A and B are shown apart, each in its own frame.
Chain A
Protein backbone atom coordinates (compact mmCIF):
# COMPACT_ATOMS: atom_id res chain seq x y z
CA UNK A 1 0.00 0.00 0.00
CA UNK A 2 1.18 3.48 -0.76
CA UNK A 3 1.45 6.20 1.86
CA UNK A 4 2.46 9.84 1.93
CA UNK A 5 4.06 11.66 4.83
CA UNK A 6 4.18 15.41 5.19
CA UNK A 7 6.33 16.10 8.22
CA UNK A 8 5.54 19.77 8.70
CA UNK A 9 1.94 20.18 9.78
CA UNK A 10 2.14 23.90 10.46
CA UNK A 11 4.64 26.38 9.07
CA UNK A 12 4.74 30.10 9.84
CA UNK A 13 6.96 32.38 7.78
CA UNK A 14 7.51 36.05 7.19
CA UNK A 15 7.07 37.46 3.72
CA UNK A 16 10.16 37.02 1.53
CA UNK A 17 11.36 34.01 3.52
CA UNK A 18 12.24 30.85 1.65
CA UNK A 19 9.96 27.84 1.86
CA UNK A 20 10.56 24.12 1.75
CA UNK A 21 7.80 21.65 2.56
CA UNK A 22 8.72 18.02 2.93
CA UNK A 23 6.94 15.11 1.28
CA UNK A 24 8.03 11.50 1.51
CA UNK A 25 6.17 8.58 0.06
CA UNK A 26 6.18 4.86 0.39
CA UNK A 27 5.55 2.78 -2.71
CA UNK A 28 7.34 -0.12 -4.30
CA UNK A 29 7.16 0.98 -7.92
CA UNK A 30 7.05 3.93 -10.25
CA UNK A 31 4.95 6.85 -9.13
CA UNK A 32 3.40 10.05 -10.33
CA UNK A 33 3.67 12.91 -7.86
CA UNK A 34 1.59 16.02 -7.28
CA UNK A 35 1.42 19.09 -5.11
CA UNK A 36 -1.94 20.75 -4.62
CA UNK A 37 -2.77 24.00 -2.85
CA UNK A 38 -6.01 24.78 -1.07
CA UNK A 39 -6.63 28.46 -0.28
CA UNK A 40 -8.97 29.14 2.63
CA UNK A 41 -12.50 28.06 1.75
CA UNK A 42 -11.57 27.02 -1.77
CA UNK A 43 -10.98 23.82 -3.68
CA UNK A 44 -7.71 22.09 -4.40
CA UNK A 45 -5.70 23.52 -7.25
CA UNK A 46 -2.82 21.78 -8.94
CA UNK A 47 0.52 23.49 -8.28
CA UNK A 48 2.75 21.09 -10.15
CA UNK A 49 3.18 17.46 -11.07
CA UNK A 50 5.91 15.01 -11.93
CA UNK A 51 5.40 12.05 -14.25
CA UNK A 52 8.84 11.53 -15.78
CA UNK A 53 11.86 13.39 -17.15
CA UNK A 54 13.61 16.26 -15.40
CA UNK A 55 13.23 15.64 -11.66
CA UNK A 56 13.12 19.39 -10.99
CA UNK A 57 9.60 20.50 -11.79
CA UNK A 58 8.47 24.09 -12.14
CA UNK A 59 4.91 24.93 -11.21
CA UNK A 60 2.65 27.94 -11.02
CA UNK A 61 3.21 30.98 -8.80
CA UNK A 62 6.96 30.43 -8.53
CA UNK A 63 6.78 27.03 -6.88
CA UNK A 64 9.05 24.15 -7.77
CA UNK A 65 9.59 20.63 -6.50
CA UNK A 66 12.39 18.14 -6.81
CA UNK A 67 11.86 14.40 -7.12
CA UNK A 68 14.68 12.51 -5.43
CA UNK A 69 14.05 8.86 -6.16
CA UNK A 70 16.67 7.53 -3.76
CA UNK A 71 15.05 9.40 -0.89
CA UNK A 72 11.44 8.78 -1.96
CA UNK A 73 10.94 12.51 -1.62
CA UNK A 74 9.20 15.27 -3.54
CA UNK A 75 9.80 18.45 -1.55
CA UNK A 76 8.09 21.69 -2.50
CA UNK A 77 10.11 24.91 -2.57
CA UNK A 78 9.65 28.61 -3.17
CA UNK A 79 12.53 31.08 -2.79
CA UNK A 80 10.43 33.99 -1.52
CA UNK A 81 6.92 33.55 -0.14
CA UNK A 82 4.15 36.13 -0.21
CA UNK A 83 1.23 36.73 2.10
CA UNK A 84 -1.05 35.34 -0.62
CA UNK A 85 0.69 31.96 -0.32
CA UNK A 86 -1.11 31.36 2.97
CA UNK A 87 -2.91 28.07 2.35
CA UNK A 88 -2.92 24.31 2.90
CA UNK A 89 -0.48 22.35 0.78
CA UNK A 90 -1.06 18.70 -0.04
CA UNK A 91 1.34 16.22 -1.56
CA UNK A 92 -0.20 13.30 -3.45
CA UNK A 93 1.11 10.13 -5.02
CA UNK A 94 -0.34 7.76 -7.60
CA UNK A 95 1.40 4.47 -8.20
CA UNK A 96 1.71 3.41 -11.81
CA UNK A 97 -1.10 1.05 -12.59
CA UNK A 98 -3.38 2.80 -10.14
CA UNK A 99 -5.70 5.74 -10.56
CA UNK A 100 -6.36 6.57 -6.94
CA UNK A 101 -4.09 9.21 -5.42
CA UNK A 102 -2.97 8.98 -1.82
CA UNK A 103 -2.82 12.35 -0.16
CA UNK A 104 -0.66 13.49 2.71
CA UNK A 105 -2.44 15.09 5.64
CA UNK A 106 -1.35 18.52 4.47
CA UNK A 107 0.82 21.39 5.68
CA UNK A 108 -0.78 24.59 6.81
CA UNK A 109 1.34 27.57 5.75
CA UNK A 110 0.81 31.00 7.26
CA UNK A 111 2.76 33.89 5.81
CA UNK A 112 2.62 37.07 7.82
CA UNK A 113 3.55 40.50 6.49
Chain B
Protein backbone atom coordinates (compact mmCIF):
# COMPACT_ATOMS: atom_id res chain seq x y z
CA UNK B 1 0.00 0.00 0.00
CA UNK B 2 1.72 3.13 -1.20
CA UNK B 3 2.07 5.93 1.28
CA UNK B 4 1.28 9.57 0.79
CA UNK B 5 3.05 10.85 -2.29
CA UNK B 6 4.11 14.38 -3.00
CA UNK B 7 5.76 15.91 -6.00
CA UNK B 8 7.94 17.53 -6.79
CA UNK B 9 10.26 16.84 -3.88
CA UNK B 10 12.21 20.00 -4.58
CA UNK B 11 10.99 23.09 -6.39
CA UNK B 12 12.92 26.24 -7.22
CA UNK B 13 11.06 29.33 -8.31
CA UNK B 14 11.97 32.95 -8.93
CA UNK B 15 10.02 35.70 -7.23
CA UNK B 16 6.74 36.33 -9.00
CA UNK B 17 6.39 32.85 -10.47
CA UNK B 18 3.77 30.29 -9.53
CA UNK B 19 4.38 27.14 -7.51
CA UNK B 20 2.13 24.09 -7.78
CA UNK B 21 2.56 21.34 -5.23
CA UNK B 22 0.82 18.02 -5.62
CA UNK B 23 -0.26 15.45 -3.05
CA UNK B 24 -1.73 12.01 -3.61
CA UNK B 25 -3.20 10.59 -0.39
CA UNK B 26 -2.88 7.01 0.72
CA UNK B 27 -5.24 4.60 -0.96
CA UNK B 28 -8.59 4.71 0.76
CA UNK B 29 -7.96 8.09 2.37
CA UNK B 30 -10.34 10.88 1.48
CA UNK B 31 -9.06 13.59 3.82
CA UNK B 32 -6.04 15.71 3.00
CA UNK B 33 -4.22 18.26 5.13
CA UNK B 34 -1.49 20.70 4.10
CA UNK B 35 1.16 22.02 6.47
CA UNK B 36 4.08 24.40 6.17
CA UNK B 37 7.33 23.96 8.03
CA UNK B 38 9.73 26.84 8.37
CA UNK B 39 13.33 26.24 9.49
CA UNK B 40 13.56 25.24 13.15
CA UNK B 41 9.81 25.44 13.59
CA UNK B 42 7.07 22.88 13.92
CA UNK B 43 4.47 22.24 11.31
CA UNK B 44 1.78 24.85 10.91
CA UNK B 45 -1.62 23.81 9.65
CA UNK B 46 -2.73 25.46 6.44
CA UNK B 47 -5.81 23.77 5.02
CA UNK B 48 -7.98 20.67 5.33
CA UNK B 49 -9.81 19.26 2.34
CA UNK B 50 -12.06 16.41 1.40
CA UNK B 51 -12.86 15.48 -2.15
CA UNK B 52 -14.14 18.61 -3.92
CA UNK B 53 -14.54 20.47 -0.62
CA UNK B 54 -12.44 22.80 1.46
CA UNK B 55 -13.35 22.04 5.05
CA UNK B 56 -11.03 24.37 6.93
CA UNK B 57 -8.64 26.92 5.46
CA UNK B 58 -8.05 28.89 8.62
CA UNK B 59 -4.29 28.50 8.32
CA UNK B 60 -4.00 29.65 4.74
CA UNK B 61 -2.64 33.12 3.96
CA UNK B 62 -5.47 35.25 2.62
CA UNK B 63 -3.72 36.09 -0.62
CA UNK B 64 -1.80 34.12 -3.25
CA UNK B 65 -2.44 30.71 -1.70
CA UNK B 66 -5.16 28.31 -2.79
CA UNK B 67 -5.83 24.59 -2.51
CA UNK B 68 -8.06 22.08 -4.19
CA UNK B 69 -8.79 18.37 -4.03
CA UNK B 70 -10.69 17.43 -7.16
CA UNK B 71 -12.84 14.39 -7.61
CA UNK B 72 -10.12 12.83 -9.72
CA UNK B 73 -6.43 13.36 -9.24
CA UNK B 74 -4.19 14.71 -6.53
CA UNK B 75 -4.69 17.60 -4.18
CA UNK B 76 -2.97 20.76 -5.36
CA UNK B 77 -1.53 23.57 -3.27
CA UNK B 78 -1.00 26.59 -5.46
CA UNK B 79 1.09 29.62 -4.57
CA UNK B 80 0.87 32.54 -6.97
CA UNK B 81 3.49 35.26 -7.29
CA UNK B 82 5.86 33.59 -4.87
CA UNK B 83 8.04 35.65 -2.55
CA UNK B 84 11.19 34.67 -0.67
CA UNK B 85 9.19 34.22 2.53
CA UNK B 86 7.32 31.34 0.89
CA UNK B 87 10.50 29.26 0.99
CA UNK B 88 9.70 26.34 3.27
CA UNK B 89 8.91 22.66 3.34
CA UNK B 90 5.28 21.91 2.53
CA UNK B 91 3.91 18.66 3.85
CA UNK B 92 0.72 16.90 2.97
CA UNK B 93 -0.97 14.37 5.24
CA UNK B 94 -3.95 12.15 4.72
CA UNK B 95 -6.37 10.22 6.89
CA UNK B 96 -9.24 7.87 6.13
CA UNK B 97 -11.79 9.82 8.13
CA UNK B 98 -12.22 13.04 9.99
CA UNK B 99 -11.64 13.20 13.67
CA UNK B 100 -9.07 13.41 16.40
CA UNK B 101 -8.90 9.60 16.59
CA UNK B 102 -7.65 9.35 13.05
CA UNK B 103 -3.90 9.35 12.68
CA UNK B 104 -2.57 11.50 9.88
CA UNK B 105 0.06 10.00 7.63
CA UNK B 106 2.57 12.37 6.14
CA UNK B 107 4.14 12.58 2.75
CA UNK B 108 7.83 13.29 2.10
CA UNK B 109 7.21 16.98 1.57
CA UNK B 110 8.03 19.48 -1.13
CA UNK B 111 10.90 21.82 -0.37
CA UNK B 112 10.24 25.12 -2.08
CA UNK B 113 13.06 27.57 -2.60
CA UNK B 114 12.25 31.02 -3.91
CA UNK B 115 15.21 32.87 -5.36
- A, B co-complexed: yes
Interface residues of chain A, those whose CB is within 8 Å of chain B, are: 4, 9, 31-32, 34, 36, 42-46, 49, 51, 90, 92, 94-106, 108
A104 CB contact (under 8 Å) in B42, B104, B109:
B42
B103 contact set on A, CB distance < 8 A: 34, 46, 49
A99 CB contact (under 8 Å) in B42, B48, B59, B106:
B48
B41 contact set on A, CB distance < 8 A: 105-106
The binding surface of chain B is classed by DSSP as loop
Contact residue range for chain B?
Answer: 20 to 34
A90 CB contact (under 8 Å) in B33, B43, B45:
B43
Give 9 nearest A-B pairs by CB, closest first.
A103-B42, A43-B108, A94-B100, A44-B106, A103-B43, A105-B42, A43-B106, A32-B100, A100-B45
A106-B40 Cα distance, complex, nearest whole Å: 7
The binding surface of chain A is classed by DSSP as strand
Q: Which of B4, B42, B48, B109 has the most CB of A within 10 A?
A: B42
A94 contact set on B, CB distance < 8 A: 100
Nearest B residue (CB) for A6: B42
